[in-house]
Amino acid sequence: MSAAVLKPPLAPWPVEDLVCGYGARSGGWYEATGRLAGAAEGPAAIVLGGISAGRRLLDDADGPGWWPGVAGPGGALNPRTGRFLSLDFLGEAARPFPSVEDQADAALALADAAGLDRFTLVGASYGGMTALAIAAAAPERVIRADILCAAARPHPMATAWRAIQREIVHLGLETGRGAEALDLARRLAMTTYRTPEEFAARFDGPEAVQSYLAARGGAWARETRPERFLVLSQSMDAVDIAVEAIAVPVRFLAINSDRLVPPEDVEAAAARMPRASITRIDSLYGHDGFLKETEAVNAFLRGDA
């Protein structure tokens, strides 16, 4: 494994950008990119989000972090007291698509490069499944895993929704309109992340909801390559983690209105594990509750829930 430290963005706490080559268990050789940010001597955690999340967990001079209200001063993931490693998920370099085990190997390689021997895991959505893969691969390094809105395998309905999104993007790429297709796929995805109750309370008439979906789809299409979306979407649907072998303490947070990762699937995963517990919360925001319910999420991560 080789590693390099890049010039980090300005921030009021230490920040290191890391790049390292690593050999994955699948046999491929890949490049991992991540960021270590926070108090130099603080307790370490690897923090992973959904497929739209990357190494910028915390606000800095380059832009906002992906977990506002949770990662930052005042949140449970406070860079003034702790150190946090996040990464850019492996994408099209892995063929036909990266597995969560490949992502886990990337996170462990970056932890080695950062000098983190032991750490807590915090993972939400796709990052939660990756965190479970890390706990399975390196239990001796994991203090505890906090898993939000993720289970051991995808629900068939979630796979069905994602399969339709992938077909939309494939059609777009075949006709030279990949970005437009990704925009539409993201609009569809937003209707699965959120709840009918939120939309009914938030939007009055078709123009408002259509404008919202157009904004969300357009923003995603400007930031993401269609090919990257396709391989990460496939990666989610291929997950099947043998969680019964995970012996480290695991705390799950499930959201009662989550249609992508129903709480029953989270409970089923927890029941297969020797040291797992589960907290369930209500939310108007469905799967996106891990991003929106900052008070409840902070309480869970602090152990107050």
> Which residue has tokens 């001063």?
73
Q: Given 60, 99, 146, 287, which residue is catalytic? A: 287
- CA 204, 198, 58, 131 torsion: positive or negative? negative
Q: Is 287 a catalytic residue?
A: yes
Residue type for 64, please? P
Residue 2: phi, psi to the nearest 5? Answer: -115, 155
Q: Given 258, 265, 283, 288, which residue is catalytic? A: 258
CA-CA distance, 38 to 78, in Å (whole number)? Answer: 8
Nearest-CA neighbor of 260 among 178, 161, 164, 170? 161
CA-CA distance, 196 to 75, in Å (whole number)? Answer: 29
CA-CA distance, 210 to 47, in Å (whole number)? Answer: 33
Q: Given 86, 125, 257, 283, which residue is catalytic? A: 125
- CA 70, 33, 246, 229 torsion: positive or negative? positive
Phi-psi group of 72: left, alpha or beta (phi > 0 → left; psi -120 to 50 → alpha; rest → beta): left
Q: Which two tokens mark 123?
A: 């993972």
Q: In DSSP terms, which residues pair with 84 in a beta bridge?
A: 37, 45
CA-CA distance, 134 to 119, in Å (whole number)? Answer: 11
Q: Is 258 a catalytic residue?
A: yes
**Residues with catalytic roles:** 125, 258, 287
